[in-house]
C-alpha cells in the first residue's frame, strides 16, 4: 500500500505543502516548552530533555501511527473506513477500539487544554506586569502561582463553551464559527516560530562565548534556521492558495493587524510623546 495506488509520493511537492498548510496548526504550541524554563530547578537539562522527548513522541505517535495505518489501508480508501485508528485496532482483533480511541482523544484534549491554560496564564501574568492586561492578573498566590490569571483563562474557556452550546442550540452554523475561531489562531500561532528563528540567529551571533558550553547543539546552524524560515514562508503561501486554509491567512492576518494596531496605540504613540 505504500507505493501502490498512484505511488509513494502521489501528490508531489504541491500535495506535500498543501497537507503541511493543513496540519501546521496541530503542532502550534510546541514552542511553549520555553515558558517552563523559569519554573524548573535546572532549565538547561530539563528543557533539552523535553525538546528531545517531544521529537521522539512526534516520530512515534504521529509519524509512526500514520505509517502503520497507510501500510494496512490504501491511502485513497481511508475516508471510507471511518476512523482509521478504530479500523486498524479492529483489524487486529481489538473489539473495544472505538472506546479506546475515544479515551485517547479525550485525554489528549484535556492534556492540550491543560498546557494551554498553563502557558496562557503565564503570558497573561506577564502582560499584566507590562501594563497590557488588568493588574489583577499579575497577582501570585502563596504558592507563587498566578491564580488570578489561571482563573481568567479558565473563565474564558468556560465562556467559549457556553457560547458554543448556545450557538449549537439556536443555530446550525456552529461549524462555521469554529472554523473562524480556529483559523484566527493558526497564522498568529506561527509568528512565534518566525520570531524564535530570528531571535536565535541574533542571540548566537551576539553571544558566541556562551555558545561554547551551550547544552543544546543545533546541527547545521545557521542554515537550519534559514531553511526553516523559508519553509514557513512557503507553507503560508500554500495556506493562502488552498481554498480550505485560505481563511486561516485572512482571519489570522486581520487578528495580527488588530493586535499590532492596539500595541502601537498603547505604546508607540506614548514613546513618540516622550
From the first residue on, what is the mean pLDDT of each consecutive set of 10 residues in the chain (274 residues)?
68 76 76 71 76 80 78 69 69 71 80 84 87 86 88 88 77 61 75 88 84 75 88 86 80 85 75 46
Give the total residue count for the chain.
274
Q: Name the residue with cell 505517535.
A: 61
Whole-model pTM: value is 0.69
pLDDT confidence of residue 151: 92
Task: Return the C-alpha cell found at 29.
Answer: 504550541
3-state secondary structure of 31: helix
| Model pLDDT, residue 122 | 87
> Helices 246-263 and 174-206 meet at what angle, rounded to 10?
60
CB 135 within 8 A of CB 175: no
Amino acid at each position: 500500500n505504500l507505493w501502490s495506488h498512484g505511488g509513494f509520493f502521489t501528490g508531489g511537492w504541491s500535495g506535500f505543502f498543501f497537507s503541511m498548510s493543513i496540519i501546521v496548526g496541530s503542532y502550534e504550541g510546541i514552542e511553549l516548552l520555553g515558558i517552563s524554563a523559569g519554573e524548573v530547578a535546572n532549565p538547561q537539562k530539563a528543557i533539552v530533555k523535553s525538546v528531545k522527548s517531544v521529537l521522539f513522541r512526534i516520530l512515534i505517535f504521529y509519524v509512526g501511527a500514520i505509517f502503520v495505518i497507510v501500510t494496512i489501508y490504501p491511502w485513497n480508501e481511508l475516508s471510507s473506513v471511518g476512523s482509521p485508528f478504530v479500523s486498524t485496532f479492529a483489524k487486529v482483533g481489538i473489539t473495544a477500539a472505538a472506546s479506546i480511541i475515544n479515551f485517547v482523544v479525550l485525554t489528549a484534549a484535556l492534556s492540550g487544554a491543560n498546557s494551554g491554560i498553563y502557558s496562557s496564564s503565564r503570558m497573561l501574568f506577564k502582560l499584566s506586569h507590562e501594563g497590557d492586561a488588568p493588574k489583577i492578573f499579575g497577582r501570585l498566590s502563596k504558592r507563587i502561582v498566578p491564580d488570578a490569571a489561571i482563573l481568567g483563562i479558565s473563565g474564558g474557556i468556560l465562556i467559549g463553551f457556553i457560547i458554543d452550546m448556545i450557538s449549537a442550540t439556536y443555530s446550525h452554523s456552529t461549524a462555521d464559527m469554529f472554523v473562524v475561531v480556529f483559523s484566527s489562531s493558526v497564522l498568529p500561532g506561527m509568528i512565534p516560530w518566525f520570531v524564535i528563528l530570528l531571535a536565535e540567529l541574533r542571540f548566537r551571533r551576539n553571544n558566541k562565548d556562551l555558545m561554547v558550553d551551550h547544552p543544546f547543539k543545533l546541527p547545521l546552524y545557521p542554515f537550519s534556521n534559514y531553511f526553516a524560515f523559508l519553509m514557513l514562508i512557503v507553507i503560508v503561501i500554500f495556506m493562502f492558495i488552498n481554498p480550505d486554509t485560505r481563511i486561516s491567512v485572512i482571519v489570522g492576518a486581520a487578528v495580527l493587524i488588530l493586535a499590532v494596531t492596539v500595541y502601537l496605540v498603547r505604546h508607540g504613540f506614548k514613546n513618540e510623546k516622550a
